[in-house]
Amino acid sequence: MGTFGNDQITINQVSMDTLTIILAFFAAAFVVSFLGGLLARRAVSLARFAPKQRRPSIERTRTLKSLLTSGITLLAFVMAILASMSLFIPMTTLIWIIGLFSAAFGLSAKPLISDLLAGMSFIFNVTFDIGEKVEFYIPGGNIQGIVEEINLTTTLVRAATGEMYTLPNGEIRIVRNFSRGKFSNANISLFVPPQDVARATEVLRTISNETFSTIEELLEPFQIVGSDNLSGSKVEVKVVARASFGKAPDLRLQLMDRIQERFRAENIELVG
Tell me: pLDDT of 9 over 50: no
Q: Share the mean pLDDT of the chain.
A: 80
CATH 2.30.30.60 residue spans of the chain:
133-177
Q: Summarize pLDDT for 87-129 with one digit per residue, the tens.
A: 787 777 777 767 766 665 555 556 777 777 787 787 777 788 8
Range ranked top by mean pLDDT from 96-100, 174-178, 180-184: 174-178
Backbone angles phi, psi at 13, to 5 degrees: -65, 135
* 50 vs 203: which has the higher pLDDT: 203
| C-alpha pair distances (Å), 44 with each of 66, 197, 240 | 11, 58, 42
**Ranges for all domains in the chain classified under CATH 3.30.70.100:** 183-265
Contact between 157 and 143 under an 8 Å Cβ cutoff? The reply is yes
CATH tag, 2-108? 1.10.287
Which of these ranges, 14-23, 45-54, 128-137, has the smallest mean pLDDT? Answer: 45-54
Q: How much is the pTM?
A: 0.52
Question: Could you give the residue range(s) of every CATH 1.10.287 domain in the chain?
Answer: 2-108
* Domain spanning 183-265, CATH architecture: 2-Layer Sandwich (3.30)
36-45 and 58-85 helices, crossing angle to 10°: 130
Query: Is the Cβ–Cβ distance between 188 and 238 less than 8 Å?
Result: yes
- Stated as kind and residue range, the H or E segment containing 265 is helix 248-265
Task: Region of 267 please: left (phi>0), alpha (psi -120 to 50) or beta.
Answer: left
| Residue 151 backbone phi and psi in degrees, to 5 | -125, -170
Alpha carbons within 13 A on the beta-carbon side of 10: 4
Helix or strand or coil: residue 229? coil
Region of 9 (left: φ > 0; alpha: ψ -120 to 50; beta: rest) is: beta
77-86: average pLDDT: 84
Residues pairing with 244 in the sheet: 183
What's the CATH architecture for 133-177? Roll (2.30)
pLDDT of the residue at 180: 79
The answer to whether residues 203 and 266 touch, using CB atoms and an 8 Å cutoff, is yes
